[in-house]
Structure 1
Amino acid sequence: MTENPLDLPPECWELIFNSLNDQSHFESLSLVSHRFLSITNYLRNSLKLTDPSTPFLPQLFNRFQNLKKIDLSEFQGDPNSILYLISRSGLDLESLDISNLKSFPFMGLKELGTKMKNLKELNCSKKFSFRDSDLIAIAETCEFLEVLDISYPDNDSSFLPQEFQNIQPFSFYITDSGIEALSMKLKRLKRINLSGNFFITDKSLMFLSSNLVLLREILIRDCDFITQSGISFAMRNSPNLVSISVNGIGIPTIDSCFKESFAYARGLCEIDLSNSFISDELLRLLGEACLPLKKLVLSHCYNFTLAGISFLLSKYQSLEHLNLKAANFLEDESMIDLSKFLTSLNFIDLGFCAKLTNSTFFTILRECPLLSEIKMETTNLGLDDFTTPLVINPQVKSLHLARNGNLSDEFLKKLAVLCPNLEVIDLSHCLGITEEGIGEILKSCCEIKCLEIKRCRAVFDLGIDLELPKLEVLQASGSALNDHALKMIANTCSRILHLDLDNCLNVTTSGVKEVVEHCRTLREINLRWCDEVNVDIVAWMVFSRPSLRKIIPPCGFAPTESQKNFFLRHGCLVYLYLGSKKLALRLDVKDLVMHSATE
């Protein structure tokens, strides 16, 4: 008797489903059987809510009882009401995102804080008019927080009502007083992002370092009144500090106290000094500190030389993440010398290093056997011959090579052989490549999931007529893709999820229909500025392809009321552009409950 392959124990199916990279795949699985529906409901741990149709949310929470993370960053309704519902849902949340909200949901957060004792992460970034009283409310209601993001508040006072604009100048901002109150309450805090809070000073870092013994990560970018003295204090007085991210350091000079502070931060694994005026002396002191350094970011830093970075890298040959973006002194010869220190790297960013050519790319492929992601955007890739010894690197999964005007099909052919396990490649704005080179990449790299060819004006199709079962994302805005290319995509890309055709002037209604009819998993499509695509196709798309969740239609689309209701019933977001503003006909939560759409 033949056994039914679906009769595996639930634990086996859970392992299989959890191996998927994206929980959006759960939707199609949930339609297979009641058993798969039950398993995917149990496994879903995150949910993003946008629609204010709160009467149906209790059913939604009852369906997904193991939710650990809820994202309200695009929620359009009353945040207090939704937080009340979440607090009474019986869920055991660990992470909540309330960024981008126009007001602070004090009452809702207070209610949720009394029920959700395991809430460890809270994101309040980019919130309008964030102030000290909001911080105190967070400290009093979410005392078990370990991660807090209060970065880049939107405190433009010109948008405040007239009656508030003359009230105390700092009453609508976060200040040292708010940070002090926070540090006295949140004793379990391990990571805090203060970036973009313009009115905090060194006192804030002193409060955090003195009161939060468990603090491990501090992000303080774009804080104008934070000085080297405050950063030095934090590094010297935070015994568990493993990561620090700052920018704009060293203007005009770096003081001795800051230079010596690295010797006290014995546990630092990650250092980000982007956009700073650093010196070889600082790099030497950093090298002599003998830190357990794994990540170093010197993006757009200046005043250091090859000698300084060479000394530093020689001391940290176990470094895994290196960002030297815009280090303009780097040349191919210097990268050959540096590469012998980079054998442990899994990430490198050499973008905007204009003197680097093919030689550097092939050198790091050969000398860095663990490298999984390379960024060399806006360099001189494509120049130089191929005399450098070539070695296959099966570890490389992601390449970002956008804006290399000299990049050629010949280079892509070499690349296809040397990186056979490539999953993500960005070739946007590479004007010298054609479908011939793209075809070689797709033919040799069978694991490709994401292909970006934005503004590649000489790419008319994908250059291959073979099945591409792994391709999920195609970003082709502004390219020369035509209906022939869309027919090719329809026939070969059975699992494509996201298709961006913005400003593809050669695409017509016929080609779009081919894709919508044959790509059964398609979730998002962008047709903005596709002037040859009839706006009347939108309703047909929603009806014909139930998997669609987001459509950006051609310009000029103006739905009737009956069409709006139709889109909502089918659970599809249709974006409308009014001038420079983008609006959306949002997903109806009722449909989310009744069907198996879970995003």
Structure 2
Amino acid sequence: MRGHDWINSTLPDELIVEILCRLDSKSSRDACSLVCKRWLRLERLSRESLRIGASGSPNALVKLLARRFPNVRNVFIDERLSVPLPVQFRGRLTEYALESEFYSENGETGSEDNGTQSFCLSDAGLTAVGEGFSKIETLSLIWCSNITNVGLRSITEHCKSLKALDLQGCYIGDQGIAAVGEFCKQLEDLNLRFCEGLTDSGLVSLVVGCAKTLKSLGVAACAKITDKSLEAVGSHCTSLEILSLDSEFIRDKGVLAVAQGCPLLKTLKLQCVNVSDEALQGVGNSCLSLEILALYSFQIFTDKSLCAIGKGCKRLKSLTLNDCNFLSDKGLEAVAVGCSGLTHLEVNGCHNIGTFGLESIGRSCTQLSELALLYCQRIGNYALCEIGKGCKFLQALHLVDCASIGDDAICSIASGCKNLKKLHIRRCYEVGNKGIVAVGENCKFLADLSLRFCDRVGDEALIAIGQGCSLHHLNVSGCHHIGDAGIIAIARGCPQLSYLDVSVLQNLGDMAMAELGEGCPLLKDVVLSHCRQITDVGLSYLVSKCTLLETCHMVYCPGITTAGVATVITSCAYIKKVLVEKWKVSPRTKRRAGSIISYLCVDL
């Protein structure tokens, strides 16, 4: 019957809540909440996650949100993020803040609107989180510099179901962390990166309290945390699966204690300059379940460590070696032979690893799906030829400043790794049209291509890519041989393109912009900076058809004037960021969209 509300009269609350929970985006849930008051109430009851950035009167905001969303289980507060409130909501929040009482330490009623205090969550706000979200399981407090042990203890007393706690950048002391161990007996995940106030005393207390449940621990830049804490972890946390350490004060003794006491360890990430072969050999001998190993800036350990890893860690899937100067091909060969199930490998700045080590990976690790080689001057073409022959499942390849890798290597990858989806190459000056043409002809699933400052790549390469691949992401910044012909081929062959960076292309003009507007209506992000031939005319063609555009960078484009900037602002309903010179923004444009305009150069 026309006018009859069949949904609300037929469906019970439980079924509507179940439907709302299955929506995959916040925007969809918000849209459904506007249907009627009943759906608004049910959506609020079903909301499980909240993300809060830096905002005025954060304590009042938390109290208001707690009243509206009582069943929230995941709260993420990140004071690095500036999240301006809509005018209407800001007014309600101010009114609510005036109704609430805020007391200073001397007991007097005070305002939070002095200085930066108004943008920082305090212990009062943290108490409101604990009291308002009693069912909380995940709490993230990123760089909340004003909270103290008092507020953290209040959270732990109210939220005993807490399973994940992130205190990155919070100056929390031992008493607060000890309270977590005392009350949160279900805690599984703890991040203490940049918690400079902590000492061994607090962390040991927490470890003892959460020994049965703790599975993940992250510690970085905590100068007072030493091997004593890791020994406690090794003695009590037998269920630990993930450990991330970044410290100058951790030595072999602590890492060995964890390796020997945590048999279920699956992920180990270390940036500890005082850890040597002894600790890594212990990892290889004891951590038989290890799947992910990342080693950063190790200046002491040698191939002995990787030989032990290859011999003992047969389940290793991912290996990252970053600035490990004493590793050579021998160590990488040991990993290749012993860990044949390896799927991800990153070698960054390890100057003694060369072609032979990568050849071993290609011959032994046939399941490799992602390979990143950064600043590897000694790795040559033949290494990637072996990767192309043996690693048929490779989906992502990253090359940065690899001076000895050229077209022959890329051709081998293209002919052997036909499932390649992502190819990122930066400043590899021996790579030219021949290699990229081979990619276009063979890698039909390629969706993400970045060729930054590869100055031998020209239009011929992009024509082949446009004819053979359907890209979503393209970055050809600094490839000065690319002009209109190459970008037009992309526009005609890649209708799904959503990101485009053509900065520093001196030969690119308005014709390419017009073709992009016609062929790529899904474009959301475009970078046109330093393109001297693009004018207001080409820009207007682009934005008139690319109505989903969200970001546009166009600094140092002399052909784009105040009128062009105004055209972007008025034509793109979803625009979120425009980067341009200050003098190109008219007063009217600034009044209309000042919050989304960024200036690279204030004065010219």
In structure 2, the residue matched to 1:476 is 502
Using the size of structure 1 for normalisation, the TM-score is 0.76
Q: CA deviation digits over 1:172-226, x for unaligned, max 9? A: 63322232233234443221211222332111211222233332111112x1111
**Which residue does the alignment assign to 1:325?**
348
Aligned to 1:122: 165
Structure 1 residue 148, shift from structure 2 partner: 2.3
Classify the secondary structure of the residue corresponding to 2:492. coil
Between 1:181-190 and 1:532-541, the stretch displaced more is 532-541
Matched, 1:402 2:426: yes
Per-residue deviation at 1:258?
5.1
Quickly say closer, same or farther: Cα 1:191–1:337, change in 2 above 3 A: closer
- Whole-angstrom distance in 1 between the partners of 2:561 and 2:184: 51
User: Cα 1:229–1:392, aligned 2, differ >3 Å: closer, same or farther?
Assistant: same
Q: Tell me if the contact between 1:249 and 1:273 (Cα under 8 Å) persists in the aligned partners.
A: no
- Distance in 2 (CA, whole Å) between partners of 1:132 and 1:211 is 19
Q: Does 1:264 align with 2:286?
A: yes
Of structures 1 and 2, the larger Rg is shown by: 2
Question: Which of 294, 297, 300 is equivalent to 2:317?
Answer: 294
Which of 234, 240, 256 lines up with 1:215 in the alignment? 240
Aligned length: 540
Aligned 8 A contact 1:250 1:278 in 2? no
Identical-residue share of aligned pairs (%): 18
Structure-1 residue corresponding to 2:249 = 225
Match of 1:368 among 375, 391, 402: 391
Q: Measure, in 2, the Cα distance between the counterparts of 1:551 and 1:442.
A: 28
5+ long unaligned stretches in structure 1: 1-6, 154-171, 581-599
| 2:296 alignment partner, SS class | coil
Describe the superposition over 1:485-511 as per-residue Cα deviations: whole angstroms up to 9, x where unpaired. 332322222112222334444443333
Q: Pick the structure with more strand per residue.
A: 2
**Alignment partners' CA distance in 1, 2:589 and 2:151:** 35
AA at the equivalent of 2:287 = A
Query: CA 1:307–1:101 in structure 2 vs 1: closer, same or farther (change >3 Å)?
Result: same
Letter in 2 for 1:104: I
Cα 1:341–1:453 shift into 2, 3 Å: same
Alpha-carbon distance change, 240 to 512 in structure 1, aligned in 2, over 3 angstroms: same
Quick check: 1:547 aligned with 2:589?
no
Distance 1:403 1:101, change over 3 A: farther
Q: Distance in 2 between matches of 1:486 and 1:91?
A: 54
Aligned-pair distance for 1:51? 4.2
Greater shift, 375-384 or 503-512, is seen at: 503-512
C-alpha displacement at 1:545, in angstroms?
A: 1.9
Q: Residue 113 of structure 1: CA displacement? A: 5.0
Tell me the CA shift for residue 349 of structure 1. Answer: 1.9
Identify the residue that residue 74 of structure 1 maps to in structure 2. Answer: 80
SS in 1 for 2:474: strand
Aligned to 1:98: 141
Q: Is the 8 A contact 1:378 1:404 kept in 2?
A: yes
1:52 lines up with 2:56 in the alignment: yes
Which letter does structure 2 place at the counterpart of 1:294? K
Give the Cα–Cα distance (whole angstroms) in 1 for the partners of residues 359 and 407 of structure 2.
17
Equivalent residues of 1:529, 1:555 under 8 A apart? no
Aligned equivalent of 1:273: 295
Cα distance per residue 1:269-297 (max 9 Å; x no partner): 22222322433333332233254222222
Is 1:525–1:552's contact at 8 Å kept on the other side of the alignment? yes
Matched residue of 2:598: which SS? strand
- What is the match of residue 527 of structure 1? 554
* C-alpha distance 310-73 of structure 1, shift in aligned 2 (>3 A): same
Shift of the alpha carbon at 1:368? 0.9
Displacement after TM superposition at 1:143 (Å): 5.5
CA contact (8 A) 2:327 2:353 kept: no
Moved more, 431-440 or 350-359: 350-359
Q: Secondary structure at the match of 2:232?
A: helix
Alignment correspondent of 1:511: 538
- Describe the shift of the 1:508–1:385 C-alpha distance in structure 2 as closer, same or farther (beyond 3 A): same
Whether the 8 Å CA contact 1:436–1:463 is kept in 2: the answer is no
Tell me how far apart the structure 2 counterparts of residues 301 and 96 of structure 1 sit (CA, whole Å).
Answer: 35
Q: Contact 2:160 / 2:183 at 8 angstroms: preserved in 1?
A: no
Q: Which of 284, 307, 329 in structure 1 is aligned with 2:330? A: 307
Give the direction of change, closer, same or farther, for the CA distance of 1:86–1:433 in structure 2 (3 Å limit). Answer: farther
Tell me: CA distance 1:512–1:139, structure 2 relative to 1, closer, same or farther (3 Å): farther
Contact 2:231 2:257 (C-alpha < 8 Å) held by counterparts = yes
Q: 1:231 and 1:548 mapped to 2: Cα distance? A: 49
Q: Which residue of 2 aligns with 1:591?
A: none
The structure with the greater share of residues assigned to helix is: 2
- Corresponding position of 1:161: none
Q: Deviations over 1:311-353 (max 9, x none)?
A: 3321111122222333445555653444121102222222222
Identify which of 170, 185, 206 aligns with 1:182.
Answer: 206
- The whole-number CA distance in structure 1 between the counterparts of 2:55 and 2:172 is 24
Farther off after superposition, 425-434 or 520-529: 520-529
Is the CA contact (8 Å cut-off) linking 2:161 and 2:184 kept in structure 1? no
Aligned-partner residue type, residue 501 of structure 2: Q
Partner of 2:116: none
Summarize the Cα distance change of 1:60–1:134 in structure 2 as closer, same or farther, 3 Å threshold: closer
Write the distance in 1 (CA, Å) between the matches of 2:155 and 2:569.
37
Paired position in structure 1 for 2:480? 457
- Residues 435 and 458, structure 1, Cα contact 8 Å, conserved in 2: yes
1:546-585 pair list within 5 angstroms: 546-556=573-583, 566-567=592-593, 573-576=596-599
Looking at structure 2, the residues matched to 232 and 345 of structure 1 have their Cα atoms a distance apart, in angstroms, of 29
User: For 1:487-546, what per-residue CA distance to the aligned partner results, in whole angstroms no more than 9, with x for missing partners?
Assistant: 232222211222233444444333333333221222222234445433565565444322
Q: Secondary structure at the match of 2:253?
A: helix
Deviation at 1:244, TM superposition (A): 1.4
Output the CA distance in 2 between the equivalents of 1:69 and 1:438: 45
Asked if 2 retains the 8 angstrom alpha-carbon contact of 1:300 and 1:326, the reply is yes
